[in-house]
Amino acid sequence: MIRWTFIIMAASLVLAGVSFAADDLGVKIYPGATKDEQWSKVQNEMMKAMGGAGVCYRTKEAVAKVADFYQKDGFKVSVGQVTADGAMMQKGDKVSLTIKFMKPLDNTNDTRICIAKTK
């Protein structure tokens, strides 16, 4: 019984750590988006080199709909404008967001959302 309790507690801590990592970036995750493990690894490694953290998600929603969600959460378009291909957004001076339609890159109809936070 003690062994199972320990396993359940350890699993809870691992899951809490994953959730905390996303929450620690201070950004809401787009509803229904799923974590993109491959791009998250790349994003996080790039950000670690600058003393920050990063994570990426995917959704089937259009770039404009995703951008609208984040604009309502306080993000501002930081470069150019929102297009069908993507958007670059900023919240404060430490959190940035890249939204990219993936079809030209991996032949899916997914939209990738990458979140980066610097210290």
Predicted TM-score of the model (pTM): 0.76
Least-confidence region, from 39-48, 57-66, 103-112: 103-112
Residue 9 pLDDT more than 60?
no
pLDDT 10s digits, 47-95: 888 888 899 999 999 999 999 999 999 999 999 999 999 999 999 988 9
pLDDT at 5 over 50: no
pLDDT digits (tens, 9 = 90+) for 17-37: 333 245 567 789 999 999 999
3-class DSSP assignment, residue 56 = strand
In sequence order, the β-bridge partners of residue 88 are 79, 98
Alpha carbon distances (Å) from 62 to 3, 33, 72, 105, 115: 47, 12, 16, 16, 17
Look at residue 24 in the predicted model and tell me its pLDDT: 61
Better pLDDT: 6 or 101: 101
